[in-house]
Structure 1
Amino acid sequence: MHNTAQTGKTSRAERLRLEEVARVKSLLIRNKLTLTQIDQQYDLPSGTAGNTVHEPHLAGERAIAAALKTRPHLLWRSRYYPDGSRKNPQPAENYRNGRRQTTDAQHQSQVAA
């Protein structure tokens, strides 16, 4: 199998993820909203909405959807089932590097093992 970095091709999953990011960003622009405004309005830590556009984050998804007056499953089809329930765990392709980052607690338990 060819490495995408060598061939310059992106996988179907990556193309869909990038299209999803572009669609959300364009909706934000059309509605004259910034990710910083959403963080502030919904009391999220700085940068949460920005990270959410690229990687799954439940509170960020809900805040962005609320600011756009829609539902999260309509913005991020890759993160939700058609009935609106959230995929759990999230598929690896929903993350920029193709894998989910470990939490501090997970990292500590891995180190202890």
Structure 2
Amino acid sequence: MCCGCNREIRLWDWDQDWNCIHTFEEHTNDIYELKFNPEDTNSFASASHDNTVKVWSLDSHKSKYTLSGHSDWVYRVDFFKRDGQQYLITGSCDNTAKIWDMQKERCVHTLEHESAVFYVL
């Protein structure tokens, strides 16, 4: 199980009496959400108050890559597939939701809203 608190993410092992076995520490501000990748359960994404999303692998302390492009806090992140390709969607306080191509590691579309985007599905 993974949980984010303040600026760090901790991985807890059920089989080892719930001991923390891994810590991920690259965000520079609070973490709002973690989502495991349904296509690759060894990876997950984190949304943060530092305006970024990071994609991680469970076997590395270092993030695989960082998605930057929001101008305010990123509250939500989720994975989805379309036409066989995997994407991330993020919701932010900057009144946008962004669609990210995971292969190209960049934003491919921005959806404008009249207020902060607190949920994405």
Same fold, TM-score > 0.5, yes or no = no
**Greater Cα radius of gyration, structure 1 or 2:** 1
- Choose between structure 1 and 2: higher helix proportion: 1
Higher strand share: 2
TM-score (norm. length: structure 1): 0.25
Higher relative contact order (CA 8 A, sep 6+): 1
Question: TM-score with structure 2 length normalisation?
Answer: 0.24
